Chain A
Amino acid sequence: MDFFDRFAIPHPSPVIYASMVAIGLTVLAIIAGLSYFKKWGYLWREWLTTVDHKRIGIMYLISALLMLFRGGVDAIMLRAQLATPEAKLLDAQHYNEIFSTHGVVMILFMAMPFIMALMNFVVPLQIGARDVAFPRLNALSFWLFFMGAMLFNISFVIGGSPDAGWTSYFPLAGNEFSESVGTNYYMIAIQIAGIGTLLTGINFMTTILKMRAPGMTLMKMPMFTWSSLVANLIIVFAFPVLTVALAMGTMDRLFGTHFFTTDNGGMDMLWANLFWVWGHPEVYILILPSFGIYSEIISTFARRNLYGYKSMVYSMVVIAAYSFLVWAHHFFTMGQGALTNSIFSITTMAIAVPTGVKIFNWLFTLYKGKIEMTTPMLYSMLFIPLFTIGGVTGVMLAMSAADYQYHNTMFLVAHFHNVIIPGVVFAMLAGLTYYWPKMFGFMLNEKLGKWTAWLLSIGFLLAFMPMYITGLDGQARRMYTYSESTGFGPWNMVSFIGAAIMAVGFAVLVYNVYYSVRYASRNISSDPWDARTLEWATHTPVPEYNFAQVPQIDSIETFWDAKKKGHVLFKGKYEKIHMPNNSGMPFIMGCIFFAWGFSFVFGIWVPLILTTIGIFICMALRSFENDHGHYISVEEIEETETKLRGAN
């Protein structure tokens, strides 16, 4: 019996039992649905084994939206608990678990895959490539991310969720204070997803550096591609640090090592340092591609080329370098002395400069532009002022002496939501709306889209502005309740209302998808926004090979020049196209990794060893495999092209 005890939830509640039932029923419903409609083969052939960057992008997108829902439910529960003083909705332990999973899910399993979704779908199209450099590896990246996310998500029904915060500081995260397997889930699920992300970083850097269409020099790359290149560079240098930190944390918890313990020479601050050496660059991994999306959208709908292209590029490169030099600002109060604090204060404030440069570039792009207020543009216009508030409070936090007042209060919570929601989430929703027609062949409804944008903005302001005030007043973060005499009650109620309005905003988005699937016109052009970059130069839906002929580039906005100045994008005859074959291996490896992670979390060693061997066997099989892909013949291309041209 002992063996099974560990899978039980250490701290159950009716909600958790209800979720177990709900998860069970959903899985059954999916299996039944797939069998009834005989879709297993379709699922396997078209999706699970695909190596096509566009389909992988869409799978990332679906996962990100699911995780947005999961993280959103967490958020609502947290705000509901805090809405009134001394509320009894959640107890301290549940509150701890929920804010921990909320943070991890939103940053690593929502924001990251959302960015990966857009990067996967857009970057190869933007540079005129047929796919990414290593399509098979790309699929593996996705499945590792997906299995990591799933592993993390089952924690709350099997064995218990992590409860030491998304930062998982030691010694709190050590065995002594976090007895349940929750923190094992944290260490191992993020490890698996993180390896996937690292592989993506390598893949996309190679793709962008080597596979651009002829004529597209580095300084002629579209801004989103530039931002992706820089973000992937940061990934390659930041994620190995996380890999090491997580491995050490895992060993401390499972193998009795002394990296972060309080005895035998262990050093808990080492975790804090390693975590933030990864963690700060991570926030820039999120924000830079978002900046890239805004740049595309703003120049499209201001009907102007982007102002200060070069300074945009340089500021991103500077941000990338700086992002590795500021990590200690996350623990000014943890005793590293005045000199260190001063240095990190200055580097942190300095990073606001290139960020400001970008804001001004967007403003100058808008200046004298013919602005067309579509939904993506509305998000961008809301982003500029809202994000600026977050940047300014960031600089406030950067002053180490003052940070003793703000640190770990609601003020900090307000800051990072203030940069992440208008900065990253709005960018992703704007990007989603903008690229939706290219992905699915119809537009999302504009009116509903604008409702979402406004509801999210108003909800955001109501939810987070009060936190600046209560934070300055001393309301600590991560506390499950507070007494009435503090006077925080009314402000927290406002926050709850704001959170509820945001939830309505997301509900409208879901309705929008439903509505547009049913009613939106399928008769749209391949360039419905009158855009400026290459991804709009191919058909909708995008054929498997992206471009029948490789486009010829001679300026930053070649597609625009092709439309307005008669530049010839596609020259010459069709030639047969080489494409990679589908493969079930990435998915299978993902599944083995899931079993590996699960065995690791619970310390069941025999399956752990077997799955480890399984992973190596997969790699060996791959090494011996002789797979040269296939060719699409000229006749086939002609047929597809005629069909698609007719469709538009």
Chain B
Amino acid sequence: MKIDNSLPLEYSTEENRLKILGFWIFLGAEIMLFGTLFASYFTLVDRTAGGPNGMHLFEIGPVLIETFLLLASSFTIGLGIHAMRLGRRKAMMTFFGITLLLGLGFLSVEIYDFIMYVHEGATIQTSAFTSILFTTLGTHGAHVTLGLFWGLFIILQVKKRGLTPETANKSFIFSLYWHFLDVVWIFIFSFIYLKGMM
């Protein structure tokens, strides 16, 4: 393995650079995936079939908490990567840990939200609107869930193996993923929640 020390650790080997580019391309595909979900959402949003619509369901409180938690986690993972670049393993692991806790908080509020929706008579089977609502939010939530496990595995690996080109690379890619989920959430927040409450 050739290590190029002029580059940050996560970019330092050929394999690492390939992985980072490959992951960016993967994110391109993810944009299409969420783009399709959003397009379908806009198509179906008014098809409530007499069931509840966004005005009925959405409450600003939990949504703001979710937004705050996820945005904060995006910030902390940024700090984590910063610490990693400085070679401060402990600090990095702490920030990653905080990120995951914030993510877990986000997920809990989202699940609470879902339960509230169901209580108000909106299940995934109620109407085209609720089907696409749960699917879009659920896809994002599933990504966060996966991210929690993935992030945990990465913390364990950094703990065991230290900051090597490999673990640094994984951590960096994970941070890209996490930021991406944050960006998707901003779209969900603006175009599903805020627009739906207007």
Same complex origin of A and B: yes
Asked whether, in the complex, the Cβ of B21 is within 8 Å of the Cβ of A257, the reply is no
Q: Please, which residue of chain B has its CB at the minimum distance from the CB of A239?
A: B29
- Cβ-based interface call for A93 (8 A): no
A272 → chain B closest CB, angstroms: 12
- Cβ-based interface call for A263 (8 A): yes
Asked whether, in the complex, the Cβ of B36 is within 8 Å of the Cβ of A240, the reply is yes
- Interface residues in chain A, defined as those with a beta carbon under 8 Å from any beta carbon in chain B: 133-134, 198, 201-203, 205-206, 209-211, 236-241, 243-245, 247-248, 251, 255-259, 261, 263-267, 270, 274, 277, 578, 616, 620, 623-624, 628
Asked whether, in the complex, the Cβ of B44 is within 8 Å of the Cβ of A259, the reply is yes
Asked whether, in the complex, the Cβ of B36 is within 8 Å of the Cβ of A265, the reply is no
Asked whether, in the complex, the Cβ of B131 is within 8 Å of the Cβ of A258, the reply is yes
Q: A256-B125, A265-B44, A267-B47 are in contact. Are A240 and B33 (CB under 8 A)?
A: yes
Q: A237-B32, A267-B43 are in contact. Are A578 and B150 (CB under 8 A)?
A: no
Asked whether, in the complex, the Cβ of A265 is within 8 Å of the Cβ of B128, the reply is yes
Contact partner of B135 (CB less than 8 A), chosen from A201, A256, A257, A270, is A257
- Cβ-based interface call for B61 (8 A): no
Asked whether, in the complex, the Cβ of A248 is within 8 Å of the Cβ of B21, the reply is no
Asked whether, in the complex, the Cβ of A134 is within 8 Å of the Cβ of B22, the reply is yes
B86 → chain A closest CB, angstroms: 25
Q: Which of B30, B33, B150 has the most CB of A within 10 A?
A: B33
Asked whether, in the complex, the Cβ of A236 is within 8 Å of the Cβ of B125, the reply is no
- Cβ-based interface call for B115 (8 A): no
Q: Please, which residue of chain B has its CB at the minimum distance from the CB of A245?
A: B36
Asked whether, in the complex, the Cβ of B17 is within 8 Å of the Cβ of A264, the reply is no
Contact partner of A198 (CB less than 8 A), chosen from B17, B29, B44, B48, is B29
How many angstroms from the CA of A257 to the CA of B130 in the assembled complex?
Answer: 9
Contact partner of A264 (CB less than 8 A), chosen from B28, B36, B49, is B49
Asked whether, in the complex, the Cβ of B1 is within 8 Å of the Cβ of A628, the reply is yes
Across the interface, which residues of A come within 8 angstroms of B29, CB to CB? 198, 201-202, 236-237, 239-240
Q: A210-B21, A240-B30 are in contact. Are A264 and B43 (CB under 8 A)?
A: no
Q: What does DSSP make chain B's interface, helix, strand, loop or mixed?
A: helix
Q: A202-B26, A206-B22, A270-B40 are in contact. Are A241 and B47 (CB under 8 A)?
A: no
Across the interface, which residues of B come within 8 angstroms of A245, CB to CB? 36
Contact partner of A265 (CB less than 8 A), chosen from B1, B40, B129, B150, is B129
Q: Which of A244, A248, A263, A616 has the most CB of B within 10 A?
A: A244
- Cβ-based interface call for B94 (8 A): no
Contact mask B175-195 → A, CB, 8 Å, 1/0? 000000000000000000000
21 A-B pairs with CB atoms under 8 Å apart are A205-B25, A206-B18, A210-B17, A210-B18, A237-B28, A244-B36, A245-B36, A248-B40, A251-B135, A255-B125, A256-B124, A258-B125, A265-B44, A265-B128, A266-B47, A266-B128, A267-B43, A616-B149, A620-B153, A623-B150, A623-B170
- Interface residues in chain B, defined as those with a beta carbon under 8 Å from any beta carbon in chain A: 1, 17-19, 21-22, 25-26, 28-30, 32-33, 36-37, 40, 43-44, 47-49, 51, 124-129, 131-132, 135, 149-150, 153-154, 156-157, 170
Across the interface, which residues of A come within 8 angstroms of B17, CB to CB? 210
How many angstroms from the CA of A238 to the CA of B29 in the assembled complex?
Answer: 8
Given A205-B22, A206-B25, A258-B131: 9 more A-B contacts, CB < 8 Å? A133-B22, A201-B25, A206-B18, A238-B32, A264-B49, A265-B128, A265-B129, A267-B47, A270-B40
B196 → chain A closest CB, angstroms: 16
How many angstroms from the CA of A205 to the CA of B154 in the assembled complex?
Answer: 26
How many angstroms from the CA of A616 to the CA of B148 in the assembled complex?
Answer: 13
Q: A257-B125, A259-B128, A624-B153 are in contact. Are A236 and B25 (CB under 8 A)?
A: yes
Asked whether, in the complex, the Cβ of A255 is within 8 Å of the Cβ of B25, the reply is no
How many angstroms from the CA of A623 to the CA of B22 in the assembled complex?
Answer: 16
Across the interface, which residues of B come within 8 angstroms of A239, CB to CB? 29
A81 → chain B closest CB, angstroms: 37
Q: A236-B29, A237-B29 are in contact. Are A257 and B22 (CB under 8 A)?
A: no
Asked whether, in the complex, the Cβ of A624 is within 8 Å of the Cβ of B128, the reply is no
How many angstroms from the CA of A247 to the CA of B131 in the assembled complex?
Answer: 12
B130 → chain A closest CB, angstroms: 8
Closest 7 CB pairs of A and B: A265-B47, A265-B128, A257-B131, A240-B32, A240-B33, A265-B49, A264-B49
How many angstroms from the CA of A274 to the CA of B43 in the assembled complex?
Answer: 12
How many angstroms from the CA of A382 to the CA of B156 in the assembled complex?
Answer: 60
How many angstroms from the CA of A616 to the CA of B157 in the assembled complex?
Answer: 17
Across the interface, which residues of A come within 8 angstroms of B19, CB to CB? 134
Q: Which of B19, B125, B154 has the most CB of A within 10 A?
A: B125
Contact partner of B128 (CB less than 8 A), chosen from A210, A256, A267, A623, is A267
How many angstroms from the CA of A238 to the CA of B19 in the assembled complex?
Answer: 22
How many angstroms from the CA of A620 to the CA of B149 in the assembled complex?
Answer: 9
Contact partner of B36 (CB less than 8 A), chosen from A241, A578, A623, is A241
Q: Please, which residue of chain A has its CB at the minimum distance from the CB of B37?
A: A244
Across the interface, which residues of A come within 8 angstroms of B47, CB to CB? 265-267
Asked whether, in the complex, the Cβ of B40 is within 8 Å of the Cβ of A202, the reply is no
Q: Please, which residue of chain B has its CB at the minimum distance from the CB of A241?
A: B36
Asked whether, in the complex, the Cβ of B1 is within 8 Å of the Cβ of A248, the reply is no
Asked whether, in the complex, the Cβ of B40 is within 8 Å of the Cβ of A211, the reply is no
How many angstroms from the CA of A624 to the CA of B155 in the assembled complex?
Answer: 11
Across the interface, which residues of B come within 8 angstroms of A277, CB to CB? 36
Asked whether, in the complex, the Cβ of A578 is within 8 Å of the Cβ of B1, the reply is yes
A197 → chain B closest CB, angstroms: 11
Across the interface, which residues of B come within 8 angstroms of A211, CB to CB? 18
How many angstroms from the CA of A259 to the CA of B30 in the assembled complex?
Answer: 21
Asked whether, in the complex, the Cβ of B157 is within 8 Å of the Cβ of A624, the reply is yes
How many angstroms from the CA of A628 to the CA of B164 in the assembled complex?
Answer: 13
A285 → chain B closest CB, angstroms: 14
Across the interface, which residues of B come within 8 angstroms of A240, CB to CB? 29-30, 32-33, 36
A255 → chain B closest CB, angstroms: 7
How many angstroms from the CA of A620 to the CA of B146 in the assembled complex?
Answer: 11
Across the interface, which residues of B come within 8 angstroms of A263, CB to CB? 49
Across the interface, which residues of A come within 8 angstroms of B156, CB to CB? 624
Asked whether, in the complex, the Cβ of B128 is within 8 Å of the Cβ of A244, the reply is no
Contact partner of A134 (CB less than 8 A), chosen from B18, B36, B170, is B18
Q: A248-B40, A256-B125 are in contact. Are A265 and B18 (CB under 8 A)?
A: no
Across the interface, which residues of A come within 8 angstroms of B129, CB to CB? 265
Across the interface, which residues of A come within 8 angstroms of B22, CB to CB? 133-134, 202-203, 205-206
Asked whether, in the complex, the Cβ of A623 is within 8 Å of the Cβ of B32, the reply is no
Contact partner of A133 (CB less than 8 A), chosen from B18, B127, B149, is B18
B109 → chain A closest CB, angstroms: 24
Q: Please, which residue of chain A has its CB at the minimum distance from the CB of B46?
A: A265
B85 → chain A closest CB, angstroms: 22
How many angstroms from the CA of A578 to the CA of B43 in the assembled complex?
Answer: 51
A614 → chain B closest CB, angstroms: 15
Q: Please, which residue of chain A has its CB at the minimum distance from the CB of B125?
A: A256
How many angstroms from the CA of A257 to the CA of B40 in the assembled complex?
Answer: 14
